[in-house]
Amino acid sequence: MSLYAISGIARSAASRCGRTSPQPCVKVGGVHRAAGRSDTTHVMQDLSITETRSATPNKLTFRALRWVPTYGMEVVATLGSRNRKRRMFGGTVLNVRESSSGQLRVFDAECVDWTWSLDNGPSVYGHYTGTYDAIARQLMSEYAPLDFTVQQVESGLPTVTGGITFTGVKLSKALQRLEKRARGAGINVTQFIDYNKDLYFRVTANPFRTSPRTITGSLDTLKSFQVLRV
């Protein structure tokens, strides 16, 4: 598991020679929030992203000053530009805790990625036959919210021998079971919901995961960085 404290990770305007600006851009509830600035009415501080390699949804946390995040708000984070297609996070606000002091209202928010949204619908029942990719697409079509897509489901995967039965499990668990079934059959499938609400279900190289390198103090753009390994 890795923790990325992305607020203020480098000097502003460090984008010469094609470098992406290190300034995080975060939209909460459809409104762009100012990360780390104290001279605005929608201040966001202590922004961090926690990613795991397990089935546990990734998380984003932040502290809100002078505005109130609420349960269910959509959260999208990018780096360098609010219009950048590649996202650092996409999900919803799950928990909000007020920790105000005096007249200053402060709210600590915990957000989870889109995987959590899969389980808001009905449970999965039924016996499914066909290829692994066909079953993944069918599950998403029948149980996922309408704005989720399946563009990263790899075609031409083998057939599920004997089919697979689901009895009252949530969609994320059904997809995890399908992945586990494939791996048990020697098919090295990886599945997750990416930050654009698209199902990744493939045996090919994963284009969304990062390839981290050692960070040292010699980097000229480094201001502060935190890593938590558990």
pLDDT digit string (tens) for 126-153? 999 999 999 999 999 999 999 999 999 9
pLDDT digits (tens, 9 = 90+) for 149-205: 999 999 999 999 999 999 999 999 999 999 999 999 999 999 999 999 999 999 965
pLDDT band at 8 (very low <50, low <70, confident <90, very high): very low
Q: What pTM was computed for the model?
A: 0.72
For strand 24-28 and strand 31-35, is the pairing parallel, antiparallel, or unpaired? Answer: antiparallel
Domains of the chain as residue ranges with CATH: 2-116 (no CATH), 118-202 (3.55.50.10)
- Using the structure block, give the residue that is written with the tokens 């104290």: 38
What SS3 class is residue 82?
A: coil
Tell me, what's the pLDDT at 16? 35
CA distance 125 to 129: 13
Question: Using CA atoms, how far apart are residues 118 and 153, in angstroms rounded to an integer?
Answer: 16
Largest CA distance in the chain: 64
Displacement of CA 20 from its chain's centroid (Å): 20
Contact 87, 79 (CB under 8 A): no
